[in-house]
Structures are given as structure tokens and as C-alpha cells.
Amino acid sequence: MITSTLETIRAELENVLYLNLDDLRLETEDDEVLSRFIGLRLNSEFQPIFDTSTPDGLLGYEALLRPSTGIEAVTPSFAFSVADSEGKLVKLDRVARTLHMLNYLTLPEKRGLLFLNVHPKLLTSVSAHGKVFETILHRHSVPTRQVVIEISETQVQSNSGLREAIDNYRDCGYQIAIDDFGSQHSSLDRLWRLSPHFVKFDLALIKQAERDSRLRRALPKLIDVVHAFGAQTIIEGIENEIQLDIALDAGAQLLQGYHLGRPASARHWRQPPAPRIVNGLMPGAPHHFGSFSLPAQCGM
């Protein structure tokens, strides 16, 4: 299936954009798409983001780049630094987006939103290299509003081009998420000015709330402030049941973390889940999610 999809997209990109898909070094393996670019093997993984307020319990997936030398894994930061040094940063971003999108299309039908990270150096390059990605979206009838562009709060600078870049993404129909909110670089004024659709709390925040009772008491108020700005909050970094309880007690509905689901290939998420929830409860957790249940792959 994915091979025929790739060939169809190849023809369309050549006809519409005069772009040879071979430039992206894409190939298929075990019904998934991978890339061999800048001397690295690039794969996609997806981490689920859960919505406790909906019947199926899934908001969507965050796509994560998994580079390796073919022998050992390397970090995405290393891959982007190599691409930057070779003058191929834009092309690597194009490769990653295309790779994630093609693998996202093989996820189960109710796959929800696709969250994509954007390299901070490329925030203002919205229209310069986005046609490839949008062509794939349109080819498969995926509206741009189904894609959420993640911008890291720790890398946001107060420059005049940032708001324009976000407005351009929004004008194209994409949703916006501010990531790492709650770090030392956070600014409520910036949050108000950017008006994102989602705010992802910094990974360290829920860990600190586990240790600090004052932060636990303040967490519901912080969520309320973000909601007052018109955004939805996503609690990231949930790694145990205590942190899950804290997030739920604070009124959080959107949740992400290793305790709920580790990043895995699209092939992994296509596997039918076995029941892990008894009477709507996570094992050992006191909170009732109603009809919300977690899939079998969400191991501890």
C-alpha cells in the first residue's frame, strides 16, 4: 500500500512542482517510509496524546524523528546540526515532514491530529518550502487544520518575524502549539500575543509538581490562565501514576507521556490493542475516565 502511495505522490510532485522525490531519499521497508539522507537513516515514531473528554480518548500523535547511523541511534539535534553544517537544513525539514506525513497516513483511521515540530531557524520559511508537504496533504484529503505546528517556548525569541510566521501558518489553516511552556523562558505576555491553539507544559513542570505541594495547588490556576487565553493545555512528561493523578486533579484533559504511551512506529500503533482497562480504570489509578480507555501499547 505505502509503495503505491509513494509512487503516486512521486508522479504528482514531478508534474506539479517539478520536484524529483528521489531528492528526499525516501524508500519503503515493512510498509513504512524511511529516508537515507545526509548519511543517516531517518525513521518516524509517533507518541499518542490523549483526550480524556472524548469517547475514543485520542487527540492525536506527535511525530518524532528517529535518526541513526545504521548501527546506533543519534539525536535529532545531531541530525539537524549535520544538515545545517552542510547547508541542507531546509531539505532535512522537508524530508522529515514528508516522512512523518506518509507514515501518519498508515495509522488507524481515527488517528486524530498530527503534531509536527519545526526547527527554530525555519520558523520564517513557511511558504518557501511548504508546497511539498501541502501537496501530500491535499492528495490524501487531509485538511491543514488536522496538522499542529509545535514551536518550542525555550527557543522563541521576541522578534518581529515570529508573529508573522505564526500568522502565516494560521492563514494556511494549520493549528499552533507552544511547547515547553513553564520553563524559565516562559512569558504570559508572549503567550497572549501569539494566541496558540494548544499550550504544552514543560516536561519538568509535572515532575516538580510531584515534589512540591505549592506547585500542585497552583497547577489548576495555571491551566485556567491558559484556558482564559483561548488555548487548550497539554500536560507532557507523565511518567507514573502519581503524576497522572496530579494532572487529572488539576483539571487537565489532554495528556502525554511515557506512562500513557511511548513513542513507537506507525506499524506498532496499527496493531490491534488488547484490553488493559477494567471498568474504565487504569490499573492502580483511582480516577475514572468514563468511556476513555488507553490502548494496550501504553506500557509503563
- Angstrom distances, CA of residue 115 to CA of 11, 66, 99, 246, 284: 27, 15, 13, 24, 30
Q: Which architecture characterizes domain 2-270 according to CATH?
A: Alpha-Beta Barrel (3.20)
Q: Of 136 and 293, which is predicted with more confidence?
A: 136
Q: Which set of grid coordinates corresponds to residue 17? A: 512542482
Q: Mean pLDDT throughout 247-274?
A: 91
Report how far residue 66's alpha carbon sits from residue 73's, in angstroms, rounded to the nearest whole number. 7
DSSP three-state, residue 41: strand
What lies within 8 Å, CB to CB, of 261 at 6+ separation is 47, 48, 50, 294, 295, 297, 298
On the question of pLDDT at 157 being above 80, the answer is no
DSSP three-state, residue 201: strand
Q: 122 with 90: CB under 8 angstroms?
A: yes
Q: What is the band of 87 on the pLDDT scale with cuts at 50, 70, 90?
A: very high
Query: For 227-236, what is each residue's pLDDT tens digit?
Result: 999 999 999 9
Q: 183 with 207: CB under 8 angstroms?
A: no
Task: Find, among 218, 247, 300, 298, the residue nearest to 48 by Cα.
Answer: 298
Residue 235's pLDDT is 97
Please give the share of the chain, as a percent, with pLDDT higher than 90.
Answer: 48
Domain ranges of the chain: 2-270
Q: What is the mean pLDDT of the chain?
A: 81
On the question of pLDDT at 154 being above 70, the answer is no
Residue 16's pLDDT is 53
**What stretches of the chain adopt beta strand conformation (E)?**
26-29, 32-37, 40-51, 58-68, 113-117, 147-152, 175-181, 198-201, 232-235, 254-255
Q: 257 with 23: CB under 8 angstroms?
A: no
